[in-house]
Structure formats: structure tokens, C-alpha cells
Structure 1
């Protein structure tokens, strides 16, 4: 991992020196060194010679360094500025005497602090170009592009919903960035529903509700993430409803995300749910195999030097199904471990590195699914799985289903027996042993079972 980090750091240092000027760079950023890197979390530490310098650089250049690192090396997802382990802890007087003179007014960092503090801090990686579109997210992606790019839209608000890690926040950031790029004079406000609630409560305590309302309701584009968090908060919902109405009635744009569809949100006032449903409701479904495959390939394009063979790509697309976020994190982890260990990336390596992730993604196959699939394969009625008939054309498929239930589910032998017409656990043991023996001797039956396993796991 040392070489990619050092190469990226050299490029970043060159860019920083050009952007902030030689004086500021030499005084504050030149002493910085690459510290430890956690491949699992993506956290990189940048070490400074003293705690004072670490605090100053973190305050003035923290966001800039994070942006530079995440852009230069996607394996890095966060940056923390720390004091070197052996850094001295001088008194405040010594710090002022011994450290370079800080002239914030002359630095670009100071200028950036003068911008609107409410301006959104969008992740530059989350763009429309980097969002991989498939059947699962096509409607949401198209609606998001339309709202961001066109002068007028036929729907408002846009409500995007889907489970964790499917790309809702990615689309939210993409909308904001594209909208501002096309209309730089417009005002965009982006926040989570939780932050909306916290800031509203603070405004009440500080007698500044007018300022809070003006800041949100004057936005040309308002982006609210995870609206489900205002459930049960009556006063927050009241303010949220009026904010929504003000934005929509003024012809400005509103985008809201949630982990559920409006009709499935509990604890939120009916009039809010009704208002949310007036616009376009677009869902993001779980990514299918083809979309997961395309996402992996797109992600690999951003990881230069990572050689991942097709069998590994297909293995990951088939096995990591919980969320896109988890899939991307797994790719980063594989790439980091491969760079650190120097090992080739093959399926065995991936199984070793992602053991916990693969276990968490293992699909829960039910006995009912097994019975259905086996009955269809052997062309018998599913009811025969629980019947008392002992004819060979029925008994053998039933034994196969018992065998697969033992192999593919965590159910106990007595539980399996009960699901097959109340049979004793010894019957299940006999079926398992019988199929194991037949698989070794009967190539056709072995092929049938392999096919059934692929169908059930796929």
C-alpha cells in the first residue's frame, strides 16, 4: 500500500503548493506526512509535527485534503489530521514563537470560510456520470436528471425511496451539483431530515425561527435526505409541511429521499404524505445481477492498477447482494489488501478477505423454496413432498429436497422432518445419507443437484 499512498501524496502536495501559494504551503503543509491507513474503513491519517499545527491544518485545510485524497485514490474515504506520535506538546507561548506565522487573511482557506456557511458540501464523486443505471434504478435516475437539467419540470416534489445503500444519497448529491453547475447563481440547500429537526429546535431556543424559515424557503432547490427521521416529531412536521408548501407553491424544486414509500411511512402526518405523493415517487429496487456487474466494472475503472479477473468479478456480483454501498466497500477492501500483501486477486483470496461480508450476504433459502424448485425440476406436484406415497418417482425427489434442506438451511433435522409431512428426524438422516451415496455413483443425479443448488442460490 505504501507506493500508491506515496504517489498520491506527491501529486496532492504539488497541487496544494500551486493552489495555496509557496509561503502558506511551506509554513503549514510541507511538514505533513502520510500516517497510518485503515484499509477496512478507508481512513487515512495525516501526521503533523505538533498538536497545534494539526488543529490549524484540520480547521483550514481538512475539507480540501479529504477532497484531494478521495479524488486521487478512491481507496481513501476519509482523512484525519493528527499530531505525530512523538510530537512535542509545547506551551502556547512556545507555539507562537516556534511555529510559522499564520496569516489566514492571505490564504485561500480563509477566503473559503467567508462563503455562505449553509452552502451544501457535496461529495464530488457523487455525480450522474458515476451513477450506474439499470432496471432497478432507471426511473429514479431519469427523474433526477430531468429535475436537475431542465428549465421546467412536470413534477414537484421528487420523492426517491429505497433501502440502505442503494444510491439515494448519490442521486441527491448529483442533482445538487448538476443544478448548480448549470445555474451557478441559484441557491441550493441540502440537509438530512434529522439536521432539519435539530436546526429548527435550535432556532426556537435562539428566537431565530424567522431566519431558519427564510434560509430554507428561499432556496431554489431544497434537498432533504432520510425524511423518515421526522416521524413522531409533531412540531418539526408542522414546520416541514409549511416549508414544503412554500417551496412548491413558489415554483422552486424539492427533492426528498426515504427508506420507504410515502404510504409505508409510519408516524408522519397524512397531509405530509399526501403532499409527498403529489409529485413523482420513484423507487430504487435492489440491484440485480447485471447492474451489480456493471457497477463493479465501473468501480474498477476508478481503481487503476487493480487486476481483477472475470471469475472474481462474477463471483462478487453473484454473492454481494445486500447493497451497492457494501459492494463498493468490498471492492476497496479487496484492492487495499491486494496492494498491501502483493497477492493476486482470485476467488480464494476474495473469500478470505471478505469472509464476514459473504456470510452476511448469504441468501436465506427456505424449505418451501426448496420443495417448490425440486418439485418443478422432477415434474411432480409440490403436495407430494408431504404426502405418504412411497413410489420411487415421488420418494427420490422428496429425499433430494430433504438433502438440500439440510445443506442449504440452518434448520434442525426434526424441523426438516416436520416440514415433510411430519416425518421423523431419522427419515431425514436416511434421506441425506442416501443422496450422498447416490451422488457419488450417479453423475446424472449429481448434475441435477448441482443445477438445483445454483438455481436456489441465484
Structure 2
């Protein structure tokens, strides 16, 4: 059996005879053959070799953008890993990054995902080695990339104040809201901004679940003093998803004392949750009372305008993606569950468009996002449509089913039929019956008439867009 030293020497010799560049050339040829020319040219061709850590056996593959890096990691990561380990065994792992993440030569080890202003301080404090407690903030989650609207304005303003102000009048900051609304984004943004303003500060960021796991480990290893010191000495402590310590009495006891220590010492504390403090079940009353002492800021569901702004902001970060205005408006109207889902939908549309070469239009989006759109669909009734249209055009709702044919009545009725066809799953005969027992051909005529008028009459088109937003929002 080969000794460890001999095995290492063999790997080094293999590395010399089959260098990274030669292996990469062959891997690219194989990938183009196995994945097909279109997929390879669209996604893998732009990939370039990054740095190689010989000690860890980790090789970086750099992509032109974060979007492409995420997509390749998700769809080709395992294939690339297998290709490299098979071709060159000294490569033990493959890390796919965006080009901007590529490390620059430095005598110090740059801390991944840590703001530049904090990298030197953290590296220096660790003697050139990575501090295992240093937070790994996502560089995409910064205040500059957080789109602000009425739904999140208070939370965003409070987060920036806590991160940047020399003194704050509230502590802790408690941010709550449903899944995918931007709580974690703000948490990372606070951490990065605070470190950039205070390079030598100590920041600790963890989920409540990790807090619990590390506390239990500290108890088991008789290292509670070390655990307490690490958290309570932080200049900024960030705790995500505090609802996960519900019912964990010993963890809550430690959490309460940690909160007290941080706040009493004048250090900063930020906590997120999916619910307001008064709605958290299984959390000790004294913790809830402490949480309420500071500023409680909620993030509400994004309204249509905010969703529209978020889509446009994300499109700016997707170069080469041409998305018509009507598609942007369609997505803003139809995907309402969460911002995270909206961002995922944009990435999926861009990826499928690039892979298939098709133009992005509403039918294409409906095809690509069929499941997502179904999950987001709010059941709108014909009755709701009739009520909304009647109010908008200032006619009595009873006119929707009357026999009157004057233009000031017929046109709103046609608009209501058109919207019923667009926004409900009802059949044409069913829609006709709900408009005073009219024939399905009348509904067809109304739909075609409104489609024609929308193209020629900007005012009517604006009216219908407004009605759609009101009904879907």
C-alpha cells in the first residue's frame, strides 16, 4: 500500500504532466459534446479558470456575472465536479464564482464574502488565517441593491440608521415579515455597512437555530464561557429567524441574558422574525418585552409599484435580457407571493430565453412559469370584476346584466367581459350567462372589440391596466 508521502508525490507528478489548462481544454470539449452546442455556448463557453488552492484541492471556475455563476452552479455544478475529479484527481472540489469574486494576490487570506474594509482587520486579527466566527455576508445583499417602497420603507430606514449612525435612539431593531420579503437582505446589508464604517468592529451574525446548536455544543463541551464571550463581546449582533427558539427553555434563558448584555453595554442588536413579537408563541414573556423595547419594523407584502421597481432593478443586473414593458407589468401583477419568488422567476425566464433563443413575451412567460403563476393566482370572481368595473366607470352594477345598449353602458360591460376572460378560468358560455344570459358569441365579440380598442385608445388601455392591478393586487 502506498505511503502518504508517495501518494502526494504521485499526485504532484500527475499535475505536472496534466496541467490545469490542458485538462480544462479537454473538459470543455467533452462538455460541448455531452451538453449540446446551444447549452454549452450559452452557459459554459464563457467560463474561465480561476485560482487553484493546491493544499485544499479547490479549483475556482469564474463566470462573467453572478447570475451565470448561480445558474451554472445549479445546473452544471455536479457535472463539472465529476469532470474535474475524473480528469485530474488533485482537484477535489470545484467552486463556481462570479469574476468579480476572483481573489487578488495578497499575503493575507482574503475572507470570502466580507466587505473590503473589514477584510484586512479580520485577517490581521486572525494572524493571516480565517477567523471561524467572521460572518459570511452575501455581497449581493447591500443597501444599494435593496429596492425601497411603502411596504418596507420603515424597516429599510431603521436598518440604515442602525448601521451607519454614530448613536441610535433604539436598540434592539426587530424586523418582521413573511418569507421572501427581504429580512435577510437587510440583515446582511446592516452587517456590511457597519463593518465598512467600523473596520475594527466585531460583528457576529447567525440564525437563531445556529445559536441554539452552538449553545448546546458549548454545554456539552463545557465551553459556555467561550460561547458567552464570543457573542456578548460583539459590537453588532445579528440574529435571524428568532421564532426557531420557541419552546427551547434553556436556549431562551441564554438568549435573554445575551440580549441584556449587548443592550446594557450599548452595543447593537438586530433580530428578525416571520411574526411580530406579540404573535410569537412559545417565547418567554420577558424576551418579548425586551424585543418590544426597541424599534419594531414590519415588512409588508410588496405592492404592485414596488414589485414593478424590483423587476426593473433586477433586469439592470441581467445584461442582455430584453424584457418588454407588458411582460414586466404582467410579472408584477401575477407574482405576488414573495420577492424571492419574483427574483427566481426572472432568473428562470432569462435562462430559458437564452437556452431556447426565443423572444421574451407574455405567452413565453406563461409557458415557462406555468406552475409559479398557478401558485400565485388569486381566485377573482366575475362578480368582483363587475363591481370594480361598474365603480370605475360610475354606472350601476345592475347595468352589467341589463339589456341596455347605449355606449356608456355597453363599453364598461364589454370591458368587464374582457377582464372576466383574462382573469378567471370561466368558459365563454359561463361568462355570457353571468352577464344577463348573453350568448358566448357576444363575449367573443366583446373580447375582440376591447383588444382592438386597447391598441388604438391609450386612455382605455390605461383604464384596463388600472382595473387589472386593482383586481389582482
TM exceeding 0.5: yes
> Equivalent of 1:69, from 92, 98, 101?
98
TM-score, normalised with respect to structure 1 = 0.71
Give the distance between the partners of 1:163 and 1:142, measured in 2 at CA.
19
**How far 1:8 sits from its partner (Å)?**
4.4
Contact 1:403/1:431, CA 8 A, preserved across alignment: no
- Per the alignment, residue 226 of structure 1 pairs with 241
Q: Does structure 1 residue 50 correspond to structure 2 residue 85?
A: yes
Cα distance, 1:379 vs. partner? 5.9
Query: Where does residue 147 of structure 1 map in the other structure?
Result: 162
* Residue 245 of structure 2 corresponds to residue 245 of structure 1: no
Q: Say if 1:41 and 1:158 are closer, same or farther in 2 by CA, change over 3 A.
A: same
- 2:342 is matched with 327
Decide whether aligned partners of structure 1 residues 235 and 356 sit closer, same or farther in structure 2, where only a CA change above 3 A counts. same
In structure 2, what is the Cα distance between the partners aligned to 1:430 and 1:327? 34
Deviation at 1:33, TM superposition (A): 10
Equivalent position of 2:297 in the other structure: 282
Deviation at 1:32, TM superposition (A): 7.2
> 1:250/1:305 Cα in 2 relative to 1: closer, same or farther (>3 Å)?
same
* Structure 1 contact 187–220 (Cα < 8 Å) conserved: yes
Distance of aligned partners of 1:249 and 1:366 in 2 relative to their CA distance in 1, 3 Å threshold: farther
Which digits, 9 at most, give the CA deviation of each residue in 1:154-180, with x for residues without a partner? 110011111111111011011111111
From the superposition, tell whether residues 40 and 265 of structure 1 become closer, same or farther in structure 2 (CA, over 3 Å): farther
Q: 1:2 aligns with which of 25, 40, 47?
A: 40
Deviates more, 1:177-186 or 1:218-227: 177-186
Match of 1:434 among 425, 438, 451: 438
Structure 1 pair 381/337, CA: closer, same or farther in 2 (3 Å)?
closer
Match of 1:354 in 2: 369
How many equivalent pairs are there? 393
Question: 2 CA distance for matches of 1:236 and 1:52?
Answer: 48
- Distance in 1, matches of 2:418 and 2:254, equals 59
Shift of 1:49: 3.7
Unaligned runs of 5+ in 2: 1-38, 112-122, 454-459
Let me know the Cα RMSD of the aligned residues.
4.4
Q: SS at 2:145's partner residue?
A: coil
- List aligned pairs for 1:157-196, cutoff 5 A: 157-196=172-211
- Going from structure 1 to structure 2, the CA distance change for 1:145 and 1:52 (only over 3 Å counts) comes to farther
Q: If the length of structure 2 is used for normalisation, what is the TM-score?
A: 0.69
1:38-84 Cα shifts (integer Å, max 9, x gaps): 959845413354379779643xxx6xx34x338579xxxxxxxxxxx
Structure 1, 228-237 or 402-411: larger mean CA deviation: 402-411
Q: Matched residues in 2 for 1:205 and 1:260: separation?
A: 31
Instruction: From 284, 290, 295, give the equivalent of 2:310.
Output: 295
The CA deviation at 1:254 is: 0.3
- Judge conservation of contact 2:304–2:469 (CA < 8 Å) in 1: no
Q: Distance in 2 between matches of 1:154 and 1:37?
A: 41
Distance 2:444 2:61 in 1: 63
Higher relative contact order (CA 8 A, sep 6+): 1
Q: How far apart, in 2, do the equivalents of 1:364 and 1:55 lie?
A: 56
2:120 is aligned with 1:120: no
Q: Whole-Å Cα distance in 1 between the matches of residues 90 and 320 of structure 2?
A: 34
Gaps of 5+ in 1: 74-105, 413-425
Distance 1:301 1:444 in 2: 35
